[in-house]
Structures are given as structure tokens and as C-alpha cells.
Chains A and B, each alone.
Chain A
């Protein structure tokens, strides 16, 4: 049975009709046409579908959409500012080689955002832990970790 669910998506109030068995990922991609969030496994094993729910990173492919009622959801599209201004993390991934095929990238950046929001100055070990749920087959993670570390460094410099 379809039910209307209301939540905040990338800062704006939305209402969508969804079935009780649907997962957040499907609703984001198929109903709301936000295809930046990726399907990689559908089983919570790869992190390609990572979004933020009330600031915490979750695997949207196994997050029942009914549980989203009243919450705040941020997707990769929500990080892009006005006039296509990339978020510092997105910029850093572009500049530091954190992207190859790009399929893991949105999920990776969302996990990185959750990490930096909680811990603005993570060490390399903490960064690796922070993205431990996000698989990448292309990069070997080296330049991804660098991309995140650079943002963390810059934020410390700005403080």
C-alpha cells in the first residue's frame, strides 16, 4: 500500500508516495530522479548508495523509506551550491585524483562528509575507518584518502 512520506531533502521539504517495502535508494533514484546516489549491491556491502540522514551516513539501499518520515536527508546533489559551486570535498576529490570511474565517488564523498562533520581533523587511520564501508575498485584508496586529508588540513588552516 502506498503512503505519503514527508521529509527534508537537500534542504527542501518533499512529500513522496512510496510502498512500505521500498528502500530510500529506490525512492531517491526512481521517484525523485536524483541519480547521483548509486546502486552498487543493494545489500549494504559497497557504500555506493551512501546518503546522510540527520547528518549520519547510511546505506540508502537498505534504509526503509518509511523510516525517513520527518528526517533530513542529504544526497550528493545537495552538496553542490549555487551556480554549480562544488563542495570543498567534491573539489578536493577532483583536484587530488580521488576520482577514476566515479561510481563510488558520491557515496565516498558522503561518508567523508559525515566523518569531517563529526571529526574535522581526522588522521589517515581515522579517514580509512571513516570510508571503510565504501568500496572502490579503481583507486586503491590512496588518492581518496589524500583528497579527504587535504580538506581536513585546509579546515584546520582556516580556523
Chain B
């Protein structure tokens, strides 16, 4: 490819000005004519039989247009294994279960009506942890599976197992072995813009839904199934996605509230809007799963990893979302980060009466990295090797296939390790700050970087349309949710086609206009859409050059003639030497079509728009519209062996921190943070760094303070006072980000996915730094002052006891 003009340079995001001016329209800002407001009545118990629902008082309230329950609407099954329902019948299994809903003329009336609905329950014993749920006598959360077969236990029927080599033998042969348990809590995506939708039907009973989702096309599929359940088989759904106020995985599934809006809209014949308030956002959306991981790793005398044995238990909550597939991504680092020949991995996903979970940015990887990377430091210590050196010894290299069958092509792992070590002054600082309670720590990540085939198609389509004025619109099934998708696709289109970025308009989020895309997840948005744009641009260029072969010379002559008339003394050059160029003789750059071998001749070029008009406005004229569907060259995991090259490329990264621990209070202060990521190729430094900074700060929240607290299934902190996310004054230390370019052959212009990785290793990096600072290992997130203080006390006691014992021993002698 010739020298890049836009890729790799800073470009302000095209969606920026409207957002800065307050003009971007989020779901909260949309109003449809005649619109009603929906509100949901949630359960008051974690586990209870529904005895009776009395809606009569709500129905009589002036302004109420509909009150629905599972008893007066068709059953709509939802979720990854269809174990959930839009509205709950017979029993509730979690506090957020939807038992009824109303539509009213304004939000106040809707809220009042919901309060007037009376539900009589009979409480059932609940289970609130996987341990409780797995007991033989535990009450069943689902008596039947989604096919109606009786269930005998609380296991979610989505098992994930992986084995490579012989772990038992490797254990025996290892020089050093360590094992431990690591826990992660539930955390909430905490999007600043809450969830919501507006559903409406036309007179043909086709559904139009504006909704906050990352998966417009899978949602369309889900909603079509709902229409079928409602007796509207064959009717169509159009999903439109407005501006999104952050999503972070919360939009990876369709939600009960969307189906409820659909039911209310159908019942009333009016558009119905449901938007969550902050309390509902916390309590009625799905957080990232809590996990418990038992990990054992070993190495030989030279510090080479010999095996990794990981057993995980996931608290699923009461229903199953796509979050149940996160182990397929956890499996990537578990099987393949660092070179490790023998691997065993098993996950048990368990129903409880807790809120049901979903994926969040990183798709299970932060939980896996927490265990692996904390344990790597433990193993290094026991082996007597510096943790940085230990990682260097075991780091993956380019062009290797891992035990899981992942084809690692480009790999900047060692460079990332070196960058962070350098930035943190590792050799000077590691192990040397104990007296001042200061320490440094690092942790690594391995993630999909070339999309991920978790669904049968991992494709994405684009349509590229050129107009008479040389402007280009590119419609894509991907979604802008703040990550910079629009900016990336604009630059890629401009670069690949040969026009300036200000000529490009990106259109997203409308299933009626945009071609299919599996969803904006797995850090795949820019990777797939930019690849599709390159394909579509190639087709468009081919067509443009064919038109040029026909019309270019005529336009050049006409322009020269006009100039001669206008400008006295202007002498047109002789064009005979140019001859009759063919399509392959042309190039397009900066909105001009020109001859490849005469790129600098200002007289021998034609503006793109002029050529397009010339081709359009004539008999049998033509216009240029091209399309492309890009589906990466990877494969689904084999369901039995869990092997397969799930992504077209993989990313590596390392993060590290220098921290100080206040031994009086247990508070951890970050003094400096360093990150190095193998990104393939930087598409836009500004937006890329923005992704990494933002992810690091989310990761630091995960590390230090975020926790969705619940007591017997009831959320206790549904607001930003009690659920703390970091604010600006908390980020008062330098964050150094280095992007390592490895130029991946599969990536658009060499780029790999970057959306999620930035928060994957953050928490273990902090935990490892805390250990270096004060010698205590925190094994459950978040690393709160209370936990650090308790661990410090325990350590002190232990040291005192050992000293005591040593004294006692010498007395005897």
C-alpha cells in the first residue's frame, strides 16, 4: 500500500461536535408522536411463588392506557438458552423479576400506577451463592429446563472444559508448584446514559424499535421471535440505535424491558418508551459475573511453565444471558497466555437467586487474568525468579499455535513487557520499596484482536454510496458507543477510497439501511468494519477507473478548452502523448482522479465529483454503489474439544503500577501507571489512547473500589454514592501508554482490536504491586483498605508468632 494519508494520524471524531453541543440524540432525548411511557413493576422477593396480581386499581387511574402481566399477554421466552421470560408467571427468581408493567400518558402517572399494582407472593427459600445452590438439598431455581424437561440441580447446562497434554504428570515433574483461590465480585457497567427503548407498530403490525443495543441484528432476530410468539409471525422488525451513552457489554443481550415495551406498544397501539432511572439501571440490568477460581501452576527449574490447572465457578444468577459464553474467552488466556504445554480448565456455571449476569468489557478475561496473573507472581516468587523475568521467559512469540489451536501470528508480548519494565524503572524499584511501603507490579493480557467467532457468522457488511458531489456515505451494521467506531471507519474509508475524510459520512444503527453485523463486541468493530470498507472501496475504485477510462480524457479536454477561453494566452498541452488510458492507468487520491504515471500534472486530473456527474447524467448513465461483506478467516470452537482458531489475530499487553500503601489505613495509592499494548497498527492515536486510558481507569475501579453489593439477592448500593466509580481527582497520577505496532496481516492497515484489552490486566497489576510494597497478597477484588489492613494485621501476627516460635525453639536447645 502506498504511503498512508489519514491512518495513523490524529483526527477528531466526526461525532464530536454534536456531542459537544448537546445535540447528539440519545434514547432519553427521543420523542415519538403520541408516545406513552412504560414502567415496570419488579419483584419484591428473591424467590417466591406469585399467588395473585391485582391490577384493578392501576387500571382505574386516569391516564393509564394499559396494564400487562404474564397472565394477559402471550408468553415471550428470552435469553441465551431461553430460560427467561419477558413477564414472569407463577414465580419470581430474583429481585428484578418483571411481574407487571403499565403504559401511561406521562412518567408520573406510570410510576403511580405501578405502585397501585398489588402482588401477593409466597416466599420460597432462596440460594445466594454457588455453594448454597450446589448443595444436594438446595431449592431448585428452575424446575424445568427451557424444553420442559425436569431439572435436578441448579447447574446451568452450558459446560466449558478444556484439556491439553497431561496436567497430572506435569504436576509431578514440576520443580515448583503453587495453588490458590481468587475471587472477583459483581460489577456494574455503569454507563452514564441509562438503558431505554421506544417500541411502536405500524398499521401492518411491523415493529419499529429505537433501542440502546450493541447487537441490532441479533436483537432484530430476537424481536422477530417475540413477534411470532405474539401471533405476528412474518411481520418485520426495524431496529434503530440512537446515540449511546456508554454500553460496555450491557447491550450484548436483549432485555426484558424491551419486550415489555413491545407488548405495551402492541396493546395500546401507541409508541411506548421505557427508560431506566439510575436505580433501575443498577438493579434491573445485568452486571459482570462474580467468579471463584482455583488455580494451580507449575514450572521447571529454569522457570518454564509446565502446566496450568484452572477450575472456576461462576454465579450465573437466576437466568442465562450470553454471559454464559464468557468462559469461551476466559479459555484463551487460560490455555494460551505464556507458553504452557499442559492445561486443564473447567467451569461450572450455577443458578442462584442473585441478579442474573451478563458480559462486560473484556468478556470474562478480567476474571481469568486476575487469577492467572496474581498466581504468576506467586509462582515466580516461589521459584526465586523476578516476576518480570519470569514473564519474559514464558512470553509467547510470533507464529506459534497454542494448545487451544490459536494461531498467534503477530505478537508484541516481549516488547510490551520491556516497555512497562522500563517505564516503571523495574530493576531499580522492584523489591526495594518495602521500607517505604512502596512497590511495583505488573500483569499481562492476551485477548482476541481479530474479532471472535462466538456466533455462526462473525461477519459485517458495509454499503458504500458515492453521490454526484463526490461525497461518500458508508453504512455499516456496527455501532458507535463512544469507542471511536465512526472515526475509525471514516479514516479507513477515506484512506482506502482516496477521498478526504470530510467527504465521508458514516451511517450506523439501522437494520433497515445497514447491512448485517453480528454485533459490536469482542473488540471487533473497527477490525471488521474497516476490513469491509477496504473491500468495498476496492470495488468502488475499480468502477471509478472504468468510468475514467470512458470519460476522463473527454473531461480533461473540455476543462482545457474552457480554460483557454477564459484565460488569455493559456496554451493547452498536447494530449496525444497520453493516448487512451485504460482503467488500470488511473489512481484516485484527495478527491481527484489522475493518471498514475503523471500524478503531479495539475492539468491531467479530474475531480471525482465531476467524473461521477459525467457518468450519471447521460443516456444509460450510472452511479456508484458498492457493498462488501467481510467475515474473518477464523473458526468456531469445536464444541467437544473447545479447540479452534477463534480469532483472526490476537493481542497482547502488559500493565504495571507503582503504588504506595498506607499501613495505618490500608489505602492503596497509585503513584504511576504504565501500559503497553500490541495494537497491530495505530489507526488514530487520539481515539486509541482514549480507549486505553478509559479502560485503565475502569480497571482501576475494578481493582480498588467497585463492587455491586447484595444481601440475599437484594442490591444494596444502586447509586453512585454507594457504588463508587473513579472520579477525576482519583486519577491524579501519570498514565503512560505505549502502543506497540506489529502490523498484522489480517488487520485493516495492520490494526488489531483494542476496545477491551485495556482493563484486563489492571487489577492483578495493582495486586502484584501491593504485594511488592507490603508483602500481603489480596486474593479477592476489590482491594479495599479494609482487606489490606486485615491482611497486614494477619501478616504481623504471623511474623510475631514465628518469632515467638523461633525463640521457644532456641530455649529448648
Identify the A interface with B (CB < 8 A): 29, 34-43, 45-46, 48, 75-77, 79-80, 84, 86, 90-91, 93-97, 99-106, 109, 124-125, 127-129, 131-145
Contacts and interface: CB of A to CB of B under 8 A. Distances in A.
Contact of A86 (B17, B693, B725): B17
A76 to B, nearest CB: 4
A139 B693 contact: yes
A142 B23 CA distance: 24
A37 B193 CA distance: 12
Contacts of B15: 99, 102
B687 interface: yes
B20 interface: yes
Contact of A131 (B29, B248, B278, B728): B728
A80 B719 contact: no
A134 B245 contact: no
B13 A36 contact: no
B204 interface: no
A100 B720 contact: no
Contacts of B129: none
Interface of B: 12-13, 15-26, 28-29, 189-194, 243-248, 277-278, 481-484, 686-687, 689-690, 693-698, 719-721, 725-729, 731-732, 735
Given A93-B20, A99-B16, A100-B484, A41 B719 contact: yes
B687 A97 contact: yes
Contact of A94 (B16, B25, B277): B16
Given A41-B278, A104-B192, A138-B246, A128 B22 contact: no
A67 to B, nearest CB: 21
A93 B20 CA distance: 7
B720 A46 contact: yes
A10 to B, nearest CB: 11
Query: Which 6 pairs, one residue from A and one from B, show the smallest C-beta to C-beta distance?
Result: A36-B22, A102-B19, A101-B482, A103-B245, A140-B697, A100-B482
Contact of B20 (A29, A34, A109): A109
A66 B323 CA distance: 46
Nearest to A43: B719
Contact of A102 (B24, B189, B721): B24
A135 B20 contact: no
Contacts of B189: 137
Nearest to A92: B20
B686 A143 contact: yes
Given A37-B22, A143-B693, A137 B13 contact: no
Nearest to A107: B192
B482 A102 contact: yes
B735 A142 contact: yes
A137 B728 contact: no
Given A97-B687, A103-B193, A141-B693, 13 more contacts: A42-B278, A48-B192, A86-B21, A90-B17, A93-B20, A100-B482, A101-B244, A103-B245, A125-B732, A131-B728, A137-B191, A138-B246, A145-B728
A94 B12 contact: yes
Nearest to A48: B192
Contacts of A40: 192-194, 278
Contacts of A142: 689, 693, 731, 735
18 contacts: A29-B29, A36-B22, A40-B192, A40-B193, A40-B278, A42-B277, A42-B278, A75-B22, A100-B484, A101-B246, A128-B732, A137-B694, A137-B698, A138-B246, A138-B694, A140-B697, A140-B731, A140-B735
A80 B23 CA distance: 11
A117 to B, nearest CB: 18
Contacts of B26: 38, 103
